[in-house]
Amino acid sequence: MTTYTICIFTGNTIGLLNRITIIFTRRRINIESLTVSETERKGVSRFTIVIRHESRDEVEKIVRQIRKIVEVLAVFGYLNDEIVFNEIALFKISTPLGSKPLDVETINKLHKAWVVYWGLDYVVIEKTGNETEIFAFFEYLRQYEILEFVRSGRVAVGKTEKGLVEYLPEAEWAYYL
Amino acid sequence: METVSVLPELTIEPTEIKLMSGSEALMRSLVAEKVDTIFGYPGGAIMPVYDALYDFQDQINHILVRHEQGAGHAAQGYARMQGRAGVCLVTSGPGATNLVTAIADALIDSTPLVCIVGQVGKKLLGTDAFQEADVMGVTMPITKWNYQITSADEVPEIMAKAFYIAQSGRPGPVLIDMTKSAQLELMTQPFVYERCQTIISYRPRLTPKQDQVEAAAKLINEAKRPYIFAGHGVQLAKAEEELLAFAEKTGIPVATTLLGQSTIPTNHPNYVGWLGMHGNYGPNVLTDQADVIIAIGMRFDDRVTGDASKYIRQAKVIHVEIDPAEIDKIIKAHAPIVGDAREVLKALLPLVKENDHTVWRNEFRKYDVIENENITAPELSGDTEKIKMAEVIDLLSRKTNGNAVLVTDVGQHQMMASRYYQFRQKNSLVTSGGMGTMGFALPAAFGAQVAAPDRQVVAIIGDGCFQMTLQELGTIVQNEQPVKAIILNNNFLGMVRQWQQLFHSRRYSFVELQNPDFVTIAKGFGMAGHTCNERETLSDSLDQMLAFDGPYLLEVIVEKEENVFPMVPAGASVSQIRLK
């Protein structure tokens, strides 16, 4: 199984998320993570969808199916080494009186994570990084009581100058750009 | 709590400019798109549009169907004959969901439709209001595009987009869900209609890239046993002449897909037959002996390929397609050409060398002989007690000189119609291919006849299929369309029965029908007809039907348990095609 990151640039219309996700559900592909936000261009949204799949051919077919959606401006499929990617995680840690004190130095210096909120009996720690880093931090925090843990899903930008991916076959990329 | 009912205040516009309602804007948009025919059925949530339509009857011919599915299929038949979008108008909820089958059929068979569907008022959206269904959600996977209009001002722009998307590129169905409030409210600006020419995020490529064309031409010129597959895309692109010119110059044999039939006359020397599960023997077997396949406007459906993993592994594939998503979807293309079939063929023609490939083409003739000896001749011999489907089609083909428009339903009769009708004119077969929708033929034949009043339209229908949409006889009669319908009655769901016979050891599970008297039903609708049960009267029966001035239903009682052969069993490779 290989991880693929699919970046989709679209106009901003109601129901578009559904139009995109049914392409995955119809082919029984599980979406690992999904983030949507408006880009630097007004009215243009960027979907970042992470999937795991054993066949690159199949992923390429999915990319082409997504590109058929009328509102889709462009679609790029990436392998991990072709993108800079990160996600954000929040950990709510229980800190009642008498519990094991947090090692803030390790948290800050080793894990590059920060306490962003102090509650009465808990703190919220924010960690930015890739999945591996976040899970390493998760393992580290297991010694404390984790009340809640949430990840944002991946955001990514391509490493190529144009954002165009060479590993996808030629077909018709050009006219979308 | 006190319930207060508030009546909407009557507002009289003081301005000089008359601002029109969303419904009227919709009508004017249809007129601007030169729509002269719509197929529809009124209901609560579409009534303001029907009220506006009342004033447009001189410009738009509205045809009242008997069931929304009939509207959809009729619009498909219309679109397939006219080469532009068929328009349906139905109400919300059940009106829209009844249209779903036709929309799905239109998507898979690339048929342009614009379906206008009523919806509850904007304030009622999501409240489970009367006849509210999430039609946007339901139709999202089966439309090329869908959109919900919630304000009258959106109408002209959205309708222009709807027609452009439905008709351009690879055609398909578009659904417009229009709230009742948008139908009623007045536009806030004067109505201006501009036809849509381009959408930034949707730019179908018509003209192929020159390097793709050159790469393909090189393969074609070097090929020893090249082979053309002509699909529905040839018809959609109106590329029949270009296909002929290309085939004649290169001498390459041409087979068609089911929907590609009639793109090339069956008596043309380059025509070798049609492909697929029940297609011709030679075209299927020789698929595995070609060295270059030139697939034009077709999508390698599983009914064409059989087991795709064993399909044309020896040949280089040139895939001409307007839809880039079709390339490499089923079969890897060595030389893809993205573009409109007509533009591609025009670009290819000067680059290919003259050739004749006589020896290679004659290979097909050898298989024709085998097919004729084993199947065609016995089918047509007339030595059985009951009439065979093949005889009916063969006779019809001769009596109409292959010039009729055949509209077929789904099943054995559909395959027989394709096998035995000798198409001479382009654009002569309307059938439900990808979706295989039983009940398609009767309403589609009606729509086809409306679109092509000068042509003889004959629907070939099975007894099972007929009972799925027979209420449209009413539409045919009310609109005085001279559709001829032939029911090939074997009292069975024949194709399912055939499979049960061949692959389920004759365990006939729910395939035998107790049929009504079809002719009496037709007469009840005011349609003439008769039953033919004897071979001796078949010829006269067909003459009587064809000569009749007006719609006519001919029921032919055919042999109960005949099978369609050749047959590529499901999951087998095309060269494992069975003759019996």
Per residue in B408-432, pLDDT (tens digit) is: 999 999 999 999 999 999 999 999 9
| Res. B21: pLDDT tops 70 | yes
Per the CB < 8 Å rule, is B140 touching A175?
Answer: no
Q: Residue A65: its chain B contacts at CB < 8 A?
A: 325
Catalytic residue among B18, B34, B123, B130: B130
The structure's pTM equals 0.93
B201·A70 Cβ contact <8 A: yes
Coil, strand or helix at B277: coil
* Ranges of each domain in chain B: 22-184, 210-363, 385-558
pLDDT at A166: 40
- Tokens representing A50 are 């992470």
Of B201, B324, B325, the CB nearest to A71: B201
The rounded distance, in Å, linking the Cα atoms of B300 and B322 is 14
The yes-or-no verdict on residue B455 having pLDDT over 90 is: yes
Band (B65; pLDDT cuts 50, 70, 90): very high
Instruction: Reply yes or no on whether the pLDDT at B400 is more than 90.
Output: yes
Q: B238 catalytic, yes or no?
A: no
Nearest 5°: CA angle at A13, between A8 and A17? 50
Q: Do domains B22-184 and B385-558 have the same CATH topology?
A: yes
pLDDT for residue A74: 86
CB B426 within 8 A of CB B404: no
A169: which chain B residues are within 8 Å (Cβ-Cβ)?
Answer: 328
Q: CB–CB of A65 and B325 under 8 A?
A: yes
CB-hemisphere CA count at 13 Å for B57?
Answer: 6
**Over chain B, what is the mean pLDDT?**
96
User: If you average pLDDT over residues B30-59, what whole number do you get?
Assistant: 97
User: Can you read off the two tokens belonging to residue B50?
Assistant: 């029907």
Are the C-beta atoms of residues B318 and B310 closer than 8 Å to each other? no
Q: Do B324 and A22 touch (CB under 8 A)?
A: no
Q: What's the token pair of residue B573?
A: 């490779």
CATH architecture of the domain formed by B385-558: 3-Layer(aba) Sandwich (3.40)
At residue B262, does pLDDT exceed 80?
A: yes
CB B289 within 8 A of CB B357: no
| Contact: A72, B201; criterion CB under 8 Å | yes
Is 90 exceeded by the pLDDT of residue B19?
no
Residue-wise burial string across B560-576, b where 16 or more C-beta atoms lie within 10 A, e elsewhere: eebbbbbbbeeeebbeb
Chain B environment of A68 (Cβ under 8 Å) = 323, 325
Question: How far apart, in whole angstroms, are the C-alpha atoms of residue B527 and residue B466?
Answer: 15
B424 Cβ under 8 Å from any chain A Cβ: no
Residues in chain A within 8 Å Cβ distance of B137: 15, 18
**Terminal Cα-to-Cα distance of chain A (whole angstroms):** 30
Contact residues, chain B, for A26 at CB < 8 Å: 141
Class of domain B210-363 (CATH, top level): alpha beta
Cβ contact (<8 Å) for B205 and A172? Answer: yes
In this structure, how many other beta carbons lie within 10 angstroms of the beta carbon of residue A143?
10
Structure tokens at B161: 């987009």
Average pLDDT for B227-236: 98
Residue B144 with chain A: CB contacts under 8 Å: 70
**What is residue B17's predicted lDDT score, i.e. its pLDDT?**
65
Q: By the 8 A CB rule, do A37 and A46 touch? A: yes
Looking at the complex, report in whole angstroms how far the Cα of residue B36 sits from the nearest Cα belonging to chain A: 27
CA distance B320 to B346: 12
pLDDT at position B15 is 53
User: What strands lie across the sheet with A2-11, from one edge to the other?
Assistant: A31-38, A44-53, A2-11, A72-79
Q: Which residue has the higher pLDDT, B5 or B254?
A: B254
Answer whether residue B88 shows pLDDT above 60.
yes
Active-site residue (options: B159, B495, B527, B545): B495
CA-based nearest residue to B68, from B135, B14, B152: B135
| Residue B145 at interface with chain A, using a CB cutoff of 8 Å | yes
Using CB atoms, pick whichever of B137, B145, B328 lies closest to residue A18.
Answer: B137
Per-residue model confidence as pLDDT tens digits over B463-517: 999 999 999 999 999 999 999 999 999 999 999 999 999 999 999 999 999 999 9
DSSP B183: H
Q: Of B344, B318, B285, B290, give the one whose Cα is nearest residue B567.
A: B285
Q: How many CA atoms lie within 13 A of B362 on its CB side?
A: 4
Identity of the residue in B140, B202, B328 whose CB atom sits nearest the CB atom of A18: B140
* Three-state secondary structure of A62-126: HHHHHHCCCCEEEEEEEEHHHEEEEEEEEEEEECCCCCCCCCHHHHHHHCCEEEEEECCCEEEEE
Burial class (CB within 10 angstroms; exposed 0-12, middle 13-18, buried 19+) of B118: buried
Q: How many helices (DSSP H) and strands (DSSP E) are in chain B?
A: 24, 18
**Which residue did the predictor score with more confidence, A42 or B71?**
B71
**Known catalytic residue at B131:** yes
Which residues have a Cβ under 8 Å from the Cβ of B37 and sit 6 or more positions away?
Answer: B60, B61, B62, B63, B78, B87, B450, B451
Partner-chain residue, chosen from A19, A61, A70, that has the shortest CB–CB distance to B202? A70
Contact B145, B124 (CB under 8 A): no
Domains of chain A: 2-83+156-176 (3.30.70.260), 84-151 (3.30.70.1150)
Inter-residue contact B340 to B237 (CB < 8 Å)? yes
The yes-or-no answer on residue B343 being catalytic is no
Give the C-alpha distances (Å, rounded to integers) separating B129 from A83, B45, B93, B528. 47, 11, 10, 44
A56 shares contact with chain B (CB less than 8 Å): no
CB neighbourhood size of B303 (10 A): 18
The nearest alpha carbon in chain B to A176 belongs to: B201
Contact check, Cβ <8 Å, B201/A11? yes
pLDDT of residue B250: 98
Q: CB neighbours of B332 closer than 8 A, spacing ≥ 6? A: B317
- Is A18 close to B201, i.e. CB distance below 8 A? no
In chain B, % of residues over pLDDT 90: 95
Check residue A36 and give its pLDDT: 95
The residue that leads in pLDDT, B332 or B14, is B332
pLDDT at B4 over 60: no
Q: CATH says B22-184 is which class?
A: alpha beta
Query: Quick check: is B56 catalytic?
Result: no
* B189-B195-B200-B202 Cα dihedral, nearest 10 degrees: 130
> What are the backbone angles phi and psi of residue B251, rounded to the nearest 5°?
70, 15
pLDDT tens, N- to C-terminus, chain A (177 residues): 999 999 998 888 889 999 999 999 999 999 999 999 987 777 788 999 999 999 999 999 999 999 999 999 888 899 999 899 999 999 999 999 998 999 999 999 999 999 999 999 999 999 999 999 999 999 999 999 999 999 999 999 888 776 444 433 333 333 333
Q: B160-208, pLDDT tens digit by residue? A: 999 999 999 999 999 999 999 999 999 999 999 999 998 888 989 999 9
What's the rounded mean pLDDT across residues B529-545? Answer: 98
The Cα–Cα gap between B279 and B519 comes to 32
Q: B140, A176: Cβ pair inside 8 Å?
A: no
Residue of B nearest to A66 (CA): B325
Inter-chain residue contact A22 with B199, CB threshold 8 Å: no
Mean pLDDT across B377-404: 96
